[in-house]
Amino acid sequence: MIPTIHQCCQTMDKYHMPDHIRSHSMLVAKITRLISTQLLLSGIDISVEKAVSGALMHDIAKFSCIHSHEDHCMKGKEICVNEGFDEISDIVNEHVILRHAVTENDFNEKEIVNYADKRVLHDQIVSLQERMNDIFIRYGPRFLHTDFERLFQKNCDICQYIENKLFEKLDFLPQDVPEQIVNISLF
C-alpha cells in the first residue's frame, strides 16, 4: 500500500526520526509534490501520492544506520516492507542511486524523489551542483581506495540528465524551485 502522509509521520515517530532528518524529508517531499503535480498536469502519468510518501520515508533508516553502518536505503526498504508500504519501498531503496536505466520518455516516482533529495542539503534547497559537491566532500574520503570517484561522476551525470529531462516538461527552471514551493503544503 501507499501510506498516507499521516501514516508516514506516525512511522517517523515510531522509528525515532530526529527533527533535522524529518525537516530534510519534509522539504524533499515538498519539492517532490511540486514536480510530480506539475508533471501530472502536463499529461505525464505520475502518482503524486506515491512520490510524496516515498519522499517522506526516504531517510526513515538514516539515523539508525549511522551507528550500525548498514545501508540506510536497503534498511529503509525493509522498514517500508515491514510496515506494509510495499508500493514505496523501491523508491526508498533507490533514493541515493537509481538501479534502473534512466530513459528520455519514461518518468517515474523514483527519479523524482532521487532528484528532489539531491536538491536538499540538510534543510536548505541548493543547486544540484552544490549538493553533489557536498556529497563528494562528505563521503568521498571514506572510499579513497575504491572506484568511488568514477561511480560518483556517473551518478552526477545521471542526476543532471534527470534534471534536464524533468525541467523540459515543467514551466519553471531548477533555480525557481525555492520560490515555487512557498505555497506547497503537505497537509
Report the interhelical angle of 48-57 vs 109-118 (nearest 10°): 40
CB atoms within 10 A of CB 70: 14
Let me know: does 49 contact 2? Beta carbons within 8 Å: yes
* Mean pLDDT computed over 95-124: 92
Q: pLDDT per residue over 17-66, tens digit each?
A: 999 999 999 999 999 999 999 999 999 999 999 999 999 999 999 998 88
**Of residues 8, 187, 32, the one with CA closest to residue 87:** 8
Q: So what's the pLDDT on residue 140?
A: 67
Q: So what's the pLDDT on residue 141?
A: 67
- Whether the pLDDT of residue 178 is over 80: the answer is yes
Instruction: Read off the pTM.
Output: 0.94
- Whether the pLDDT of residue 74 is over 90: the answer is yes
Grid coordinates belonging to 58: 526516504
Range of the domain at 116: 5-180
Residue 186 lies in a domain: no
Distance separating alpha carbons of residues 25 and 88, to the nearest angstrom: 15
Let me know: does 102 contact 29? Beta carbons within 8 Å: no
Q: What confidence tier does 133 reach under pLDDT thresholds 50, 70, 90? A: confident
Q: pLDDT per residue over 135-176, tens digit each?
A: 888 776 666 667 777 888 888 999 999 999 999 999 999 999
Distance separating alpha carbons of residues 82 and 64, to the nearest angstrom: 16
CATH of the domain at 41: 1.10.3210
- Whether the pLDDT of residue 180 is over 90: the answer is yes
- For residue 103, the one-letter residue type is T
The structural domain count of the chain equals: 1
Residue 15 lies in a domain: yes
- For residue 54, the one-letter residue type is G
The CA radius of gyration of the chain, in Å to the nearest whole number, is 16
